[in-house]
Chains A and B, each alone.
Chain A
Amino acid sequence: MSGADGTLAGAARLPGAGIPPRVPGRNMARRRTTDRVMRALLGIAAVIAAVPLVLVLLYVLVQGLPALNLALLTQAPVPAGFPGGGVAPAVVGTLIMVGLGTLIGTPIAVLAGIYVREYAGGRGATLIRFLVDVLAGVPTIAIGLFAYGLVVVPMGSFSALAGAVALAVIIIPIVARITDEMLGLVPGSVREAAYALGIPPWKTIVRVVLPAASGGIVTGILLGVARIAGETAPLIFTALGNDRVSTALGEPMDALPLRIWVYASGPYDSWHAQAWAASLVLVFLVLAFSLLTRLALRRRGAART
Chain B
Amino acid sequence: MPLMTEPTTDARVDPAPSPVPAPAPRTHAVGPVPGARAIEVARRSDEPVQDAGVGVEIEHLDAYYGNRRVLRDITLTVHPNSVTAIIGPSGCGKSTLIRCLNRMHEVTPGARVAGEVRLDGDDIYAPGVDPVVVRQRIGMVFQRPNPFPTMSIYDNVVAGLKLAGIRDRSLLDEVAERSLRRAALWDEVRDKLSAPGGALSGGQQQRLCIARAIAVEPEVVLMDEPASALDPMSTLKIEELIAALRASYTIVIVTHNMQQAARVSDRTAFLTVGDDRSGFLVEEGPTAQIFTNPRRQLTEDYISGRFG
Chain A interface (Cβ within 8 Å of chain B)?
122, 186-187, 189-200, 203, 207-208, 211-212, 214, 304-305
Contact = CB atoms under 8 A, between A and B. Distances in A.
Nearest to B139: A196
Interface stretch (B145-153, B172-180, B233-241, B278-286): B145-153
Interface string B108-149: 010000000000000000000000111111011010101111
Contacts of B107: 191-192, 195
A305 B148 contact: no
Contacts of A203: 163
Contact of B195 (A198, A208, A211, A305): A305
Given A187-B146, A304-B152, A305-B152, A198 B104 contact: no
Contacts of B134: 198
Given A198-B34, A203-B163, A193 B146 contact: yes
Contacts of B213: 196-197
Given A189-B144, A200-B132, A305-B152, A195 B216 contact: no
B209 A193 contact: yes
B159 A197 contact: yes
B132 A198 contact: yes
Given A207-B163, A304-B152, A305-B195, A198 B146 contact: no
24 contacts: A122-B109, A187-B146, A189-B144, A190-B149, A192-B142, A193-B147, A194-B159, A194-B163, A195-B107, A196-B102, A197-B159, A197-B160, A197-B163, A197-B216, A198-B38, A198-B135, A198-B137, A198-B216, A200-B132, A208-B150, A211-B150, A212-B148, A304-B150, A305-B195
A192 B270 CA distance: 26
Contacts of A191: 107
Contacts of A211: 150
For the residues of A in contact with B, the DSSP-based class is helix
Nearest to A191: B107
A214 B150 CA distance: 10
Interface in B263-284: none
B196 interface: yes
A196 B212 CA distance: 10
Given A193-B142, A196-B142, A214-B150, 11 more contacts: A189-B142, A193-B209, A195-B107, A197-B136, A197-B163, A197-B212, A198-B34, A198-B135, A199-B160, A200-B34, A305-B195
